[in-house]
Amino acid sequence: MCTARPGWATVSFRQPLYKKQMQNIKVNLIDILDINEAKQTIRVEPLATMGQITAFLNPLGWTLPVLPELDDLTVGGLIMGVGIETSSHNFGLFQHCCVAYEVVLADGSVVTCSKDENSDLFYALPWSYGTLGFLVSATIQIIPAKKYLKMEYIPVHSKKDMVKVFADETNKGEENMFVEGLVYSENSAVIMLGNMTDTADPEKINPIGYFWKPWFFKHVEEFLESGSAVEYIPLRHYYHRHSRSIFWEIQDIIPFGNHPVFRYLCGWTVPPKISLLKLTQGEATKQLYEKYQIIQDMLVPMKDLGDALKVFHDEIEMYPLWLCPFKLFNLPGMIHPQDASDEMYVDIGAYGAPKTKQYEAKRTTRKLEAYVSRVNGFQMLYADTYMTREEFYDMFDHTLYNKMRDELPFCKQAFPEVYDKINKKVRS
Ligand SMILES: Cc1cc2nc3c(=O)[nH]c(=O)nc-3n(C[C@H](O)[C@H](O)[C@H](O)COP(=O)(O)OP(=O)(O)OC[C@H]3O[C@@H](n4cnc5c(N)ncnc54)[C@H](O)[C@@H]3O)c2cc1C
Ligand SMILES: NC(=O)C1=CN([C@@H]2O[C@H](COP(=O)(O)OP(=O)(O)OC[C@H]3O[C@@H](n4cnc5c(N)ncnc54)[C@H](OP(=O)(O)O)[C@@H]3O)[C@@H](O)[C@H]2O)C=CC1
Ligand SMILES: CC(C)=CCC[C@@H](C)[C@H]1CC[C@H]2C3=C(CC[C@]12C)[C@@]1(C)CC[C@H](O)C[C@@H]1CC3
């Protein structure tokens, strides 16, 4: 079994072929169920989206600690897959902000799980890609929201500074609520530090989300020339800062989209919905993306960032790259640090056309996968994975997952293994 959500409707990169062979179960649950301000939690159904949640929570003065930035990402997809955001160095991944899950198992029973109740299931669900049961609700922690985000842009012009400033600022913990890096070349990047505030210098307020505003990654690039600066960004504009330009993928789709004339006259028509692009994508476009674009997020220990950037440069030489730090808690489940303590990691996101001559999708991705595995890192599985089953087992700890599959009634008969839902052969 799998959910009946059509492949084109998802934010995952490819269309899932396995949906054609499996029993499709409709889990059309799209609502925000309730908010408990005393306990600081919100209970939502799995198809509630990030855009929907910020629209609901922010006017009430609340927000999610980790709010992945594309509007259409769903709670179900982020829990069963993985969700990350620039506050993850303090709060962990999306799953780490979840307090309880309600799941329908293969035998039809409904089970609630949390740290204290059915805790094995609670820790096994993230990264299980819907192969332990169907999520029907999640209770998620909320935190107070403020009106603006005070953003400090720090341009850096050497690889050494890039790695040092990024790691140092990340390690300051709560002093910087949000930390993000956009790498523009081998030796230049802008590191961004954000903190929520209710007061702002009116001259420095920048509502970056309006349709006539420049694409966020282009706006940030300007600080490489102009030097450090501070801006106040309305909170919801900050959260969805990469939505309008789909990170930087939009420049290959609408190359003239950042021109002021286009922005002022037609900016309101973009971005095209990711689901519309997937639905209308023909075979030729699919092949073009497969051959000439890389879409990957690799999660590597912070201590290996400098080395990892070199590997990415040698293999794909593609910029911008997205840097997002996150704390990997020493908790049971598919991913955890090598040692018995929490460890700081960084997500390196590569979205675009590689510039290296030797780039070949499968071969290059396999090289990156092997490197990431070697440094005890992880690949995000919404994109193309070329690992063999053995390599996949090496990267992800299946101990608790397999135990749950053995224990949960009819689980193995009803659901495939994660590998059988994420490997390239079952996605097109
Ligand atoms: C809503 C939307 C969704 C999109 N989705 C995708 C997507 O999913 N994947 C993707 O890859 N792209 C996507 N695109 C981008 C699209 O592929 C490009 O805009 C593409 O260039 C459009 O091709 P066209 O046939 O309309 O060519 P045109 O726009 O007519 O031409 C493209 C370029 O080729 C040149 N050209 C045309 N004919 C010739 C010729 N005979 N000889 C020499 N040069 C020529 C033109 O001068 C121009 O520079 C999308 C665009 C939009 C608006
Ligand atoms: N900043 C970030 O963190 C970003 C994350 N992403 C990635 O995008 C993906 C999320 O996209 P989205 O469109 O929301 O999700 P998808 O529909 O792509 O779902 C992802 C996985 O979760 C499973 N799943 C979803 N809902 C349920 C449910 N109710 N019960 C059981 N299993 C479920 C799906 O199973 P099935 O195949 O059976 O439908 C699928 O295997 C994640 O994998 C995430 O890592 C992408 C961009 C940014
Ligand atoms: C921040 C993290 C962790 C990931 C961001 C990943 C996104 C940049 C990609 C996720 C799905 C991708 C798709 C496309 C672009 C890049 C993503 C949004 C397309 C819109 C590109 C054009 C194709 O025709 C359809 C693609 C659908 C998925």
**Nearest ligand atom owner, CA of 322:** 3
Q: How remote is the CA of residue 29 from the centroid of ligand 3, in Å? A: 24
Q: How remote is the CA of residue 254 from the centroid of ligand 1, in Å? A: 9
Q: How many CB atoms are closer than 10 A to CB 81?
A: 23
Beta strands in 105-228 (DSSP E): 110-114, 134-141, 143-144, 148-156, 178-185, 188-197
Q: Where are the alpha helices (DSSP H) in 257-410?
A: 260-266, 274-280, 283-292, 305-315, 361-374, 389-395, 399-407
Q: What does residue 424 show for φ and ψ, rounded to 5 degrees?
A: -60, -30
With a 6 Å cutoff on the Cβ, whether 323 touches ligand 2 is no
Q: How remote is the CA of residue 118 from the centroid of ligand 1, in Å? A: 53
Atom index in ligand 2 nearest the CA of residue 12 equals: 18
DSSP reduced 3-state for 324 = strand
Q: How remote is the CA of residue 117 from the centroid of ligand 2, in Å? A: 24
- pTM score over 0.90: no
| Contact call for residues 308 and 162 (beta carbons, < 8 A) | no
| Contact call for residues 303 and 363 (beta carbons, < 8 A) | no
Distance CA 364, CA 96 (A): 32
Which residue shows structure tokens 């929520």? 196
With a 6 Å cutoff on the Cβ, whether 83 touches ligand 2 is yes
Closest C-alpha to 319, from 241, 217, 225: 217
DSSP reduced 3-state for 205 = strand
Closest residue by CA, ligand 2 atom 15: 77
- pLDDT 10s per residue in the chain (428 long)? 999 999 999 999 888 999 999 999 999 999 999 999 999 999 999 999 999 999 999 999 999 999 998 889 999 999 999 999 999 999 999 999 999 999 999 999 999 999 999 999 999 999 999 999 999 999 999 999 999 999 999 999 999 999 999 999 999 999 999 999 999 999 999 999 999 999 999 999 999 999 999 999 999 999 999 999 999 999 999 999 999 999 999 999 999 999 999 999 999 999 999 999 999 988 898 888 889 999 999 999 999 999 999 999 999 999 999 999 999 999 999 999 999 999 999 999 999 999 999 999 999 999 999 999 999 999 999 999 999 999 999 999 999 999 999 999 999 999 999 999 999 999 88
The residue whose CB lies within 8 Å of the most ligand 3 atoms, and thus the one to mutate among 12, 13, 251, is 13
State how beta strands 229-234 and 343-352 pair: unpaired
Q: How remote is the CA of residue 68 from the centroid of ligand 3, in Å? A: 13
Distance CA 133, CA 108 (A): 9
